């Protein structure tokens, strides 16, 4: 019988807990065994963008990244859900240009930038959103680079395309299970399903990777790229960026749509997967922050941790009216 989701976070306003978030969370060790779990570790989920480091694996293991001379910054962008700020879109544009490609070759679709200054600039100058602004444009630049290496057709996002078949193969290897299905992601690429345990196991594989084989070296290269360039993985003010910067030990943190988070803790060989069952970002952010604090990998007092673990809720005049509180069962 499936286990019910566990308390994640409470939304307090005055003396009233007005909303509640629940979810599933799993911490795995280097053996792939569960260290701790909340909710149902066998729940089937779509990891969405929190699986981007897995989707970037064939780019590296195939030799495509090395052949194209990709830098650590580009590997970070391949794993990113960036906010479409100039630091992101300029680098993705240069990457495509270096490969003899352009924004037209992307299949992720246009998305308005989430960088405030650029958004205002673009509105003032009637510049419409394009595919470079899409938070997945780095992942898609990676897909295109892999595709050049594989010699596939231009519709690299289709589920039966060699690029996506390579992604599925490594996804099933790292999660340690056959994927029970998939959904089409917001960026038009397939997003493969797995269990909560499978996703935490895959993250523990990243955390415990060694230089002994091609896959291990690829996992190390990708996790190190994420940790070296936290601003490229997300952007200013974003949870992934701030939590990676605030962590008291090396941690790679990655969000996914619909309340997903993963984390890789190389010093412990631990992997974490978090799913807020209602899909709320605020609930998932609170939960991943709580688990990092629980493990001693982040301090609850650090402002970049507190901003997600226990943020204030202001009214329109900037006065505190309430706060988000992590569920006691996650934190300690």
Distance CA 259, CA 39 (A): 15
Footprint of a second copy on 275-314 (CB under 8 A): 277-280, 283
Which tokens go with 149?
Answer: 């290496």
Which tokens go with 245?
Answer: 């910067």
Given the complex with a second copy, which of 162 and 186 has the nearer CB atom?
186
Strand pairing report for 260-265 and 270-276: antiparallel
108 near a second copy, judged by CB under 8 A: yes
Spatial CA neighbour of 231 closest among 60, 77, 59: 77
Given candidates 1, 100, 124, 303, which one binds a second copy under the rule CB under 8 A? Answer: 124
CA atoms 323, 324, 325, 331: torsion sign: negative
Rounded least distance, CB 203 to a second copy, Å: 19
Rounded least distance, CB 135 to a second copy, Å: 9
Given candidates 134, 195, 208, 262, which one binds a second copy under the rule CB under 8 A? Answer: 134
Given the complex with a second copy, which of 230 and 283 has the nearer CB atom?
283
128 near a second copy, judged by CB under 8 A: no
Q: Quick one: the chain helix, strand, coil %, rounded to 5?
A: 45, 20, 35
317 near a second copy, judged by CB under 8 A: yes
Footprint of a second copy on 6-45 (CB under 8 A): 11, 13-16, 18-22, 44-45
2 near a second copy, judged by CB under 8 A: no
Size of the site for a second copy (CB under 8 A): 46
Given the complex with a second copy, which of 93 and 300 has the nearer CB atom?
93
Among 165-173, 218-226, 242-250, 274-282, the segment contacting a second copy (CB under 8 A): 274-282
97 near a second copy, judged by CB under 8 A: no
Secondary structure (DSSP) of 224-278:
HHHHH-HHHHS-TT-HHHHHHHH-SS--EEEEETTTEEEEEETTTTEEEEEEETT
Which tokens go with 238?
Answer: 């974003």
182 near a second copy, judged by CB under 8 A: yes
80 near a second copy, judged by CB under 8 A: no
Task: Determine which helix (DSSP H) or strand (DSSP E) holds 116, and give its type and residue range.
Answer: helix 116-124
Given candidates 58, 84, 322, 326, which one binds a second copy under the rule CB under 8 A? Answer: 322
Is 222 within 8 Å of 53 (Cβ atoms)?
yes
Rounded least distance, CB 21 to a second copy, Å: 5
Distances in whole angstroms, Cα of residue 113 to Cα of each of 118, 119, 158: 7, 6, 25
Which tokens go with 272?
Answer: 């974490």
Distances in whole angstroms, Cα of residue 225 to Cα of each of 21, 102, 181, 245: 32, 24, 29, 13
Rounded least distance, CB 39 to a second copy, Å: 12
Given the complex with a second copy, which of 189 and 209 has the nearer CB atom?
189
Rounded least distance, CB 29 to a second copy, Å: 27
Q: Residue 318 contacts by C-beta under 8 Å, 6 or more apart in sequence?
A: none
186 near a second copy, judged by CB under 8 A: yes
Give the binding site for a second copy (CB under 8 A): 11, 13-16, 18-22, 44-46, 107-111, 120, 123-124, 134, 181-188, 191, 193, 258-259, 277-280, 283, 315-319, 321-322
């Amino acid at each position: 019988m499936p286990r019910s989701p566990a308390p994640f976070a409470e939304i307090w306003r005055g003396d009233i807990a007005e909303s509640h978030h629940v979810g599933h969370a799993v911490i795995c060790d280097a053996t792939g065994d569960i260290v701790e779990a909340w909710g149902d570790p066998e729940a089937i989920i779509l990891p969405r963008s929190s699986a981007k480091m897995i989707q970037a694996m064939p780019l590296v293991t195939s030799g495509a990244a090395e052949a194209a001379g990709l830098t650590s910054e580009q590997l970070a962008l391949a794993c990113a859900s960036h906010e479409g700020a100039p630091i992101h879109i300029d680098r993705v544009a240069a990457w495509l240009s270096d490969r003899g490609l352009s924004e037209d070759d992307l299949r992720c679709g246009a998305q308005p930038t989430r960088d405030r200054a650029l958004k205002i600039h673009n509105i003032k100058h009637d510049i419409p959103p394009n595919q470079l602004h899409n938070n997945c444009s780095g992942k898609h630049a990676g897909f295109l680079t892999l595709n050049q290496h594989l010699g596939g057709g231009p519709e690299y996002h289709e589920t039966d395309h060699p690029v996506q078949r390579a992604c599925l193969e490594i996804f099933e290897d790292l999660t340690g299970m056959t994927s029970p299905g998939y959904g089409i992601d917001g960026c038009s690429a397939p997003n493969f399903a797995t269990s909560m345990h499978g996703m935490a196991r895959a993250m523990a594989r990243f955390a415990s990777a060694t230089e002994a084989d091609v896959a291990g070296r690829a996992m190390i290269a990708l996790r190190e790229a994420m940790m070296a360039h936290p601003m490229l993985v997300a952007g200013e003010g974003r949870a992934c960026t701030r939590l990676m910067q605030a962590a008291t030990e090396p941690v790679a943190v990655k969000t996914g749509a619909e309340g997903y988070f993963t984390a890789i803790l190389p010093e412990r060989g631990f992997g974490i997967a978090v799913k807020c069952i209602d899909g709320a970002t605020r609930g998932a952010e609170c939960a991943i922050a709580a688990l990092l604090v629980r493990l001693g990998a982040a301090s609850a007092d650090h402002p970049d941790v507190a901003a997600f673990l226990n943020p204030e809720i202001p009214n329109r005049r900037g006065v505190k009216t309430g706060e988000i509180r992590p569920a006691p069962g996650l934190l300690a």
